[in-house]
């Protein structure tokens, strides 16, 4: 993970641990812990590295990651988020172990 992402990840972890800051942080609205913050940053890094010449930044938002990128001189936004439909099925069949 590059230095900028490491600093951002560290800051987000601090915010996540402070209830008041978490409630005021737009990036963590909808974040419920089913996806780890570390997993979101791993995804962000993977996509950034894969599409590096096309991406122009990204952000964590709730249980997902947003990316800005350019394709054929046009701006696009790509969102990768937890698949609610399949998550519930996998949880039901015990593929995903949830804390109860």
25-39 confidence digits (pLDDT tens): 999 999 999 999 999
Q: Is residue 78 part of a domain?
A: yes
Q: How many domains does the chain have?
A: 1
Domain holding 30, by residue range, is: 3-92
Q: Is residue 100 part of a domain?
A: no
Whether 41 and 1 have beta carbons less than 8 Å apart is answered as: yes
Residue 82, SS3 per DSSP: coil
pLDDT in tens, 42-100: 999 999 888 888 888 889 999 999 999 888 999 999 999 999 999 999 999 999 876 65
Cα separation of 67 and 48, whole Å?
Answer: 8
């Amino acid at each position: 993970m590059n230095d900028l992402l490491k600093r951002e990840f560290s800051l987000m972890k601090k915010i996540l641990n402070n209830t008041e800051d978490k409630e005021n942080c737009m990036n963590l609205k909808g974040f419920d812990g089913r996806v780890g913050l570390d997993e979101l940053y791993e995804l962000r890094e993977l996509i950034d590295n894969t599409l590096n010449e096309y991406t122009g930044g990204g952000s964590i938002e709730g249980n997902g990651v947003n990316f800005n990128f350019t394709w054929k001189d046009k701006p696009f936004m790509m969102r990768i988020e937890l698949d609610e439909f399949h998550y519930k099925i996998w949880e039901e069949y015990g593929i995903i172990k949830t804390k109860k």
